[in-house]
Structure 1
Amino acid sequence: MAIELNKDARREAIASIERYFREYMEEPIGNIAAGGLLGFFLEEIGPAIYNQAVADVQARLQARVMELDIEIHEEEFQYWRKLERGGKGRR
């Protein structure tokens, strides 16, 4: 699965790369080179970040699924217990 950025995000990412090079590197980078560098990072490193994000979401969802029993559990065979505690029941 190719990792793609929408047009606006891609434009902002390229501008950010250009700014980074202006402020921290000895040589500035042009728009085309910054786009190429972004493409390289998306193809080479993007999948590792994406896969980690998927693993994080899976872990979080699994934790939530494990909590379902606690959140929505109903005790079974409660009719007589409720009746013995003075609850409503058929008589």
Structure 2
Amino acid sequence: MNTIKFSQLETEQLVTKIQHYFAIELNQDLGQFDAEFLLDFFAKEVGAYFYNRGLFDAQTVISGKLENVSEMIQEGISEIEKPVS
């Protein structure tokens, strides 16, 4: 998988969040270049973990929905099934 790419707006928002975190939690000023570098590092090194977790969560939700649909189809077919003798 390629490195996760963010739009310019997303990058700006994420850089701002990183800078804010460093200022509040670590009491350190982080320049834009350093924050972008850190964002690139996390996107490259750990981004796939978050991406894969998102896929897993989406699969779980979709599987649950499909299970409900399958049950509804089975119930619907049972309702119109003709008795045999």
| TM-score of Structure 1 vs Structure 2, range by shorter chain | 0.7 to 0.9
Residue-by-residue CA offset, 1:55-84 (whole Å, 9 max, x unaligned)? 111111111112222223312533x69xxx
What is the TM-score of this pair, normalised by structure 2?
0.80
CA-based RMSD = 1.9
State, as a whole percentage, how many aligned pairs show the same letter: 22
What is the TM-score of this pair, normalised by structure 1?
0.75
2:28, 2:65 → 1: CA distance? 49
Unaligned runs of 5+ in 2: none
1:19, 1:77 → 2: CA distance? 63
- Report the structure number with the largest CA radius of gyration: 1
Whichever structure has more helix as a proportion of its residues is 2
Q: What count of residue pairs does the alignment treat as equivalent?
A: 80
- Which of structures 1 and 2 has the larger relative contact order (alpha carbons within 8 angstroms, sep 6+)? 2
| Counterpart secondary structure, 1:5 | coil
Unaligned runs of 5+ in 1: 82-91
